């Protein structure tokens, strides 16, 4: 521990870098391979990636054989690539975001060391590693951590050029990664907003960016467009060549509906304009949010004294404003702003004397949270009725959860006591690492059955046989991903009524076909009461319907939809 402490307190760039990367790797990679993809988004992306590998069709992503237009394919490509390299979906699906998180930590450290000093870079990276939103996304298989990484590289390129340059190579690399961000999730252009405060400071002091803010800057978008074209041109040319209605609909959906229309006229996740400021930042960006309040005067002083800090914070504010304007909001949308905020926070606070009330408040909060964890463990172990009821949709045996939380709570208290003389944020980092290790190993293994429909689909296979034909109506992607049987569905994008009508026609053609539906589905073409219960999954009871439950009449569907996937659950045996 003393050797590690000496290295972390060194002013040598590489003396600090290697232990920092090692700690980051351990935090971000622990748990990889311990669990399967969990809802809400992971099964969707993983199934798309699995189909890329099995079909060889990488340009047009499919979900259960149907084109998936919600996101460009880069994130799914990454999962598919690691699947091909490792041969294991359980290993592959978490690796892209873990590595993107590692790259983000390195870039924050490197910028801090270059702009100020090694201590600022070290503190910025460590601060980022204890912010809940960063950890949650870097250790999950949602698309936002990768977008954050590409946007951070974009910011890195602009900062290396404008603040540390001129450095035209990094300038164009930044633009290129903006393009990669665009074809990952559309909002990869966000580093462009940094040009607004840069322009303001250039007007205030025309010599500040001399040799860096020139006409050559106008060529930057060409690098971004070149990267976008690597995906867009083959996609559009293929659409123009083949021109089937489905492939044209895919093109129009991903280029128009999922971009401008989704931002201006969002159709889900509708939140008020203040959602991020009041409901996300105080909790998901803790402790940075509290550091702003506690050291407000220092923030103001440093912003006035250091234009680089001001530019970073203005950019963070512009990103939050950008997403606040749109009616559709999810807490992960503002994640790309977090690395630059951590960098600015470290630049402001490194070397500042800690405030007593801040130290006591955070330390007290950590002791309180440890008590909550221990209490939950005890309540789970004794199967407290309210807790049993709250978790009834997942499991009726809380013994394992109880032991996990009791052990976590006891170790939490022990580490807080041993680290009682450390700064509050150091203590927060220690107990956060403890929680991550336990939950990402023991917790993942224990919760995997609760968070997936694996048991239900295996039971269904036992009832009808793995070679039976299974149809799905009103379902989520995990039911395809975990199915040992070949699956037919009737368009994920169609209404339940249209899915049901197509399913009725499909079952009429072969009496040995079956349909799996949630018990709450209101069906007019099937007698759902006559079906067999296959069990609970994702808060629903699932009913197996056979030809016996077919009603004699069913309205004809407006359009025929059928999408077939052959034995998608084979990966479970890999």
What digits encode the pLDDT tens for the residues 287-336?
A: 999 999 999 999 999 999 999 999 999 999 999 999 999 888 899 999 99
Which of 451, 467, 501 represents a domain boundary (last residue)?
451
Q: Are residues 24 and 104 located together in one domain of the fold?
A: yes
At 89 the three-state DSSP class reads: helix
Tokens representing 419 are 């680290």
Domain annotation covers residue 6: no
Number of residues written out for the chain: 574
* pLDDT classification of 350: cutoffs 50, 70, 90: very high
Residue 31, by phi and psi: left (phi above 0), alpha (psi -120 to 50) or beta?
A: left
Averaged pLDDT, 240-254: 87
Q: Quick one: pLDDT at residue 435?
A: 95
- Residue span of the structural domain in which 532 resides: 454-573
Count CB atoms within 10 A of the CB of residue 304. 10
- Asked whether residue 9 is assigned to any structural domain, the reply reads no
344 and 282 share a domain?
Answer: yes
pLDDT in tens, 86-102: 999 999 999 999 999 99
As for how many domains the chain has, the answer is 3
Q: Which of 345, 311, 305 minimizes the C-alpha distance to 123?
A: 345
Other C-beta atoms closer than 10 Å to the C-beta of 181 total 29
Tell me the β-bridge partners of 270. Answer: 328
Rounded CA separation 215/556 (Å): 62
Residue 461 shares a structural domain with residue 378: no
Instruction: Answer yes or no: is 14 within a domain.
Output: no
Could you give the CA distance from residue 376 to residue 516 in angstroms, rounded to a whole number? 36
Q: Where are the alpha helices (DSSP H) in 116-244?
A: 118-128, 132-138, 144-162, 168-185, 195-204, 220-242
CB 143 within 8 A of CB 185: yes
Cα distance between residue 325 and residue 339, in whole Å:
22
- Which of 294, 325, 349 marks a domain boundary? 349
pLDDT at 17: 95
CA quadruple 541, 546, 547, 548: dihedral sign = negative
* pLDDT in the model for residue 552: 87
Q: In what order do the strands lie in the sheet with 486-489?
A: 532-537, 540-545, 513-518, 469-472, 486-489, 563-565
Confidence of residue 259 (pLDDT cuts 50, 70, 90): low
133 and 274 share one domain = yes
Q: Are residues 191 and 223 in the same domain?
A: yes
Residue 308 lies in a domain: yes
Q: Do 444 and 476 belong together in one domain?
A: no
Domain stops at, among 451, 474, 509: 451
pLDDT at 262 over 80: no
Claim to verify: residue 415 and residue 519 sit in the same structural domain: no
In-domain check, residue 316: yes
DSSP state of 530: G
User: Do 258 and 386 sit in the same domain of this protein?
Assistant: no
What's the DSSP call for residue 543? E
Question: Once rounded to an integer, what is the mean pLDDT over residues 498-527?
Answer: 92
| Residue that has been written with the tokens 């479970």 in this structure | 572
344 and 317 fall within a common domain: yes
One domain for residues 508 and 404: no
Taking only the tens place, the pLDDT of each residue in 169-193 is 999 999 999 999 999 998 999 999 9
Say yes or no: 249 and 394 in one domain.
no
Residue 71 within a domain: yes
CA 462 to chain centre: 34
Specify the pLDDT at position 83: 97
Q: Please answer whether residues 355 and 366 qualify as being in contact, where contact means their C-beta atoms are separated by less than 8 angstroms.
A: no
Is the pLDDT score of 267 beyond 60? no
Rg (alpha carbons) of the chain, rounded to whole number: 26
CA gap 1, 17 in Å, rounded: 16
Q: Is residue 395 predicted with pLDDT exceeding 60?
A: yes
Question: In this structure, are residues 118 and 11 in contact, taking their beta carbons and an 8 Å threshold?
Answer: yes
Q: Has residue 557 got a pLDDT over 70?
A: yes
User: pLDDT class for 382, splitting at 50, 70, 90?
Assistant: very high
Examine the pLDDT at 260 and tell me if it is beyond 70.
Answer: no
| pLDDT exceeds cutoff 80 at 49 | yes
Do 259 and 160 fall within a single domain?
yes
DSSP-assigned states of every residue in 179-200: HHHHHHHS-TTGGGGGHHHHHH
Nearest-CA neighbor of 342 among 425, 272, 419, 430? 425
Indicate whether 393 pLDDT > 80. no
Any idea which of 95-109, 118-132, 382-396 has the lowest mean pLDDT?
Answer: 382-396
């Amino acid at each position: 521990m003393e050797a590690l402490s000496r290295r972390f307190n060194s002013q040598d760039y590489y003396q600090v870098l290697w232990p920092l990367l090692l700690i980051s790797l351990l935090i971000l990679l622990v748990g990889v391979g311990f669990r399967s993809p969990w809802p809400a988004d992971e099964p969707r992306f993983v199934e798309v990636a699995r189909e890329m590998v099995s079909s060889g069709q990488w340009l047009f992503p499919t979900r259960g054989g149907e084109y998936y237009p919600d996101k460009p394919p880069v994130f799914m490509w990454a999962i598919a690539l690691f699947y091909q390299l490792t041969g294991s979906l359980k290993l592959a699906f978490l690796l892209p975001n873990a590595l993107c998180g590692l790259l983000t930590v390195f870039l924050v450290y490197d910028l801090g060391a270059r702009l100020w000093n090694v201590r600022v870079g070290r503190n910025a990276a460590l601060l980022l590693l204890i912010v809940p939103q960063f950890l949650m996304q870097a250790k999950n298989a949602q698309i936002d951590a990768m977008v954050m990484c590409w946007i951070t590289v974009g910011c890195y390129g602009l900062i290396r050029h404008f603040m540390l340059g001129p450095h035209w190579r990094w300038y164009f690399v930044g633009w290129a990664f903006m393009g990669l961000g665009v074809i990952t999730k559309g909002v990869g252009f966000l580093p462009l907003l940094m040009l607004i405060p840069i322009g303001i400071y250039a007007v205030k002091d025309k010599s500040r960016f001399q040799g860096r803010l020139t006409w050559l800057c106008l060529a930057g978008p060409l690098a971004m467009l070149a990267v976008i074209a690597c995906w867009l041109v083959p996609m559009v040319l293929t659409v123009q060549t083949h021109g089937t209605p489905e492939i044209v609909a895919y093109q129009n959906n991903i280029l128009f509906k999922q971009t401008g229309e989704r931002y201006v006229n969002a159709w889900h996740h509708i939140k008020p304009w203040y959602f991020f400021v009041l409901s996300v930042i105080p909790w998901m960006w803790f402790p940075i949010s509290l550091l702003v309040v506690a050291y407000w005067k220092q923030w103001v002083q440093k912003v006035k004294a250091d234009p680089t800090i001001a530019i970073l914070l203005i950019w963070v504010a512009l990103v939050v404003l950008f997403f606040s304007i749109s009616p559709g909001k999810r807490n992960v949308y503002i994640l790309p702003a977090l690395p630059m905020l951590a960098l600015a926070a470290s630049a402001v606070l490194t070397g500042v004397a800690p405030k007593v009330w801040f130290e006591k408040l955070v330390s007290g909060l950590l002791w309180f949270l440890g008590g909550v964890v221990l209490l939950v463990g005890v309540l789970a172990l004794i199967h407290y009725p309210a807790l049993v009821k709250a978790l009834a949709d997942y499991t009726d045996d809380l013994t394992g959860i109880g032991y996990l939380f009791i052990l976590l709570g006891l170790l939490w208290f022990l580490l807080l006591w041993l680290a009682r003389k450390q700064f509050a944020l150091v203590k927060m980092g220690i107990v956060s690492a403890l929680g991550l290790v336990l939950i990402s190993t023991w917790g993942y293994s224990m919760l995997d059955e609760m968070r997936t429909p694996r048991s239900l689909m295996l039971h269904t296979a036992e009832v009808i046989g793995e070679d039976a034909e299974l149809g799905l109506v009103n379902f989520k992607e995990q039911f395809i991903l975990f199915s040992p049987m070949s699956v037919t569905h009737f368009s994920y994008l169609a209404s339940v009524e249209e899915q049901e009508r197509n399913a009725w026609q499909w079952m009429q053609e072969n009496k040995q076909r079956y349909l799996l539906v949630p018990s709450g589905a209101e069906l007019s073409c099937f007698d759902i009461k006559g079906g067999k219960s296959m069990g609970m999954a994702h808060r629903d009871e699932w009913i197996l319907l056979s030809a016996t439950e077919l009603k004699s009449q069913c309205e004809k569907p407006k359009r025929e939809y059928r999408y077939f996937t052959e034995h998608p659950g084979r990966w479970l045996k890999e």
